[in-house]
Structures are given as C-alpha cells and as structure tokens.
Amino acid sequence: MGHKIKQTAGRDSLGNFAPKFAELNDDVLFGEVWSRDGISLKLRSILTISALVSKGLVDSSFKYHAETARKNGVTKTEMAEILTHLAFYAGWPNAWAAFRVVTEVYAGDEGGEEHGGMFGLGQPNDAFAQYFIGNSYLKPLTDPKETVFIANVTFEPGCRNNWHIHHADKGGGQLLLCVDGEGWYQEEGKEPQSLKPGDVVMIPAGVKHWHGAKADSWFSHLAVECPGENTSNEWLEPVSDEQYPAEDR
C-alpha cells in the first residue's frame, strides 16, 4: 500500500454542517481511493483535472487539484497539452476557464522536465521498482566499468525504497549527495533525518537503512557507490506507512 494521504478539507469546511460528507471526503476519497497503488498519483491528478474541466468546475477545488497535479509531477508543458486536448472534448469555454487558474498555479515554472535537479530526471527505475513504494527515476552519470558508479535517483512525493543493507568484506557503503527537493534518510534504531539540497549522507557498509522523498515533495540525490571488496546489496522489507514519517520533524 502507498503512503496514505492525509486530508482535512472536508472536516475544516463541513465538519459541523455535514460530518458524514466530511468523513467520506477526507477518509475514503483521499485516505483510501487516492492512496491506492493501482495507478500513480500523477495519473490520478490528470484524471481528476480532466473530470473537473469536463464538468466546468474550475472553482477553488479545481485550483487545489491543479496545485496537487503540479506537486505530483504534471509539468507546465503537460498541463497545457492536457487542457488543449480537453478543449475539443469538454468545451472551449471550460478550457479557457481552466487555463486562467493553471497559469497562476504554474507561474514561474519552465516548460518540460521539472524534476531531477541539474542532473535531470532520467528514466523510470523499472529494474528496481519491486524494491520501491511509489515511482522512482534513475539517471546513471558514470560507467561502473570505468570508474566509481554515480547515479541521480529521483523519488516522486511519498516514494521511498525498502530497508536495505550495503554489504562488503572491506570498504563499501554509499554516499548520498542531495541535489533537489526534500527527503528522508533513516538508519534502523534512529530517528528519520530530514534532507535538503546540499546535505551529504554517509552510509557505512552493514547498516540497515532506507531513503526517499517526503510526502509532499519530489526528491533527488546522487547515489555514489563506495569501492570495496565483495560488495553486494541486500533488499529487505518495505517501509510501512507507520514507519514512514507522517509530518516534518
């Protein structure tokens, strides 16, 4: 199961007037439906935007979903194309109204790729997807046959890798050089460590740990494989929702 989304909008607005509606909005729609693993948060955002525009609903709720879509990885270029496409099916006035909202939401964003920092997003990390909750991306920067292997790893909001251990008879371990967004690093038995660009994490061989993005932010770090003898990586259990930090610390 993916990271459970915490929503309070229903209770904040209608908790006294319509408590059941508020409960269904916060706990079922967002707490259960939006938190399911079947499709990505990005695709859920695109589907929601499409449904709202088709109905001509471009109120404060639409602005919230446009902001959420941006956080979930829908780029400025993609949003423009989505609304242009919808205009032919949902109506030109509806698209115009939606554009007035999203131009404000995406003000200052460049078109195209937004995530990954200066090193770029790379490709979906399909080879290791079984060891991640959520979607991650990998951009190798060096050839491990020629030198130390360095790759830029990017996590979508809420994405994290499983607990794992870097083994080595001598040397080994890993360095994380944080380059974009905000994330978490945690060693077994210790509190999670908040990460921002410029932070460096030194992971010794033999230490059980995990790392990934915060719930509301994309996160990228360079992963540097430290040279060692007989190095290997042991993947362990996923980081549960209970273990994953519920809020900033």
Which domains, and CATH codes, for the chain? 1-38 (no CATH), 40-114 (1.20.1290.10), 117-235 (2.60.120.10)
pLDDT of residue 181: 92
Look at the alpha carbons of 117, 122, 128, 134 in this order and tell me if their dihedral is positive or negative. positive
pLDDT mean over 218-235: 96
pLDDT mean over 195-216: 96
Q: What's the predicted TM-score (pTM) here?
A: 0.59
Helix (H, G, I), strand (E, B) or coil at 124: strand
CA atoms of 155 and 138, how far apart (whole Å): 9
Strands 209-213 and 183-187: antiparallel
Kindly report which listed range (124-128, 152-156, 178-182) carries the lowest average pLDDT score: 124-128
What does the radius of gyration of the chain's CA atoms come to, in whole angstroms? 20
pLDDT of residue 114: 66
Q: Name residue 154's beta-bridge partners.
A: 137, 220
80 against 123, higher pLDDT: 80
| CB contact at 8 A, 240 and 213 | no
223 against 74, higher pLDDT: 223
- By CB atoms closer than 10 A (0-12, 13-18, 19+), residue 177 is middle
Reported confidence tier of residue 112, pLDDT bands at 50, 70, 90: very low
pLDDT mean over 139-162: 95
For the chain, the farthest-separated pair of C-alpha atoms sits apart, in whole angstroms, at: 66
